[in-house]
Amino acid sequence: MKDIMRKASWVTKTAMAAAVVSAVAALVSTAASVAWAQQKDSGTLTAADYIEIQQLAVRYAYAVDTHADNGYAYADLFAPDGVFGGKTQGREALAKLAMSTQADRGGPDYTRHFLTNVIIYPTPDGARGSQYLVAIDVGEGGKPSSIIHGGRYDDVYVKTPDGWRFKTRQLYPNKIGVPPPTAKIPPAR
């Protein structure tokens, strides 16, 4: 009888231990699932994501100024369905736009677009951001240099198989007496 009680006790202890292990595993699995879902829903970016998006913004200025690769260096910064200015969409149209920007003074010898104060924040679908633009016309032949335009870009970024790209990019040019729309920047954390 003593052996039966010992075996029963051992079986009970083993069953209890298995139940505890199963409960802990279920709890860990649930916690991991909840954490993943919260991260996905709130949208988080890694340090590498921030750097890649900043590089995207910087490459934009170089691509539009230099007209590199017949405008395709610019066009390839956009997602396949990416749009500039609410109307220019598609690789061919974007490349044509890049080639027409400062057509008489573009190319590898000209730098005029300067983007500053880049702000990037995560969204559930990727990221959004803004940055200021100043475009300078460097004077030559006695002509003084001047600021030819400025403003703010508001962007929606999307991660593609080729990395981060512009889904949309909207320029709000500075105009005297006409304030641009307020940037949609979330509060600091």
* Domain range annotation of the chain: 1-42, 47-173
Average pLDDT, the chain: 80
Q: What is the pLDDT of residues 167-183, one digit of tens each?
A: 999 999 988 776 667 76
Which of the following CATH numbers is that of domain 47-173: 3.50.50.60, 3.10.450.50, 3.20.20.150, 3.10.580.10?
Answer: 3.10.450.50
Residue 31 has pLDDT above 70, yes or no: no
Residue 29 has pLDDT above 90, yes or no: no
Rounded distance between C-alpha atoms, residue 80 and residue 179, angstroms: 32
Q: What is the pLDDT of residue 27?
A: 38
Strands 146-160 and 113-123, bridge-based pairing: unpaired
Mean of the pLDDT values across residues 101-130?
Answer: 86
pTM of the shown model: 0.71
Q: What is the pLDDT of residues 131-168, one digit of tens each?
A: 999 988 887 788 888 888 899 999 999 999 999 999 99
The sign of the dihedral angle between the CA atoms of 187, 168, 63, 146 is: negative
Residue 108 has pLDDT above 70, yes or no: no
- Own/partner pairs for 44-50, CB < 8 Å, 24+ apart? 44/122, 45/120, 45/122, 45/127, 49/127, 49/159, 49/164, 50/120
- Both structure tokens of 34: 């909840």
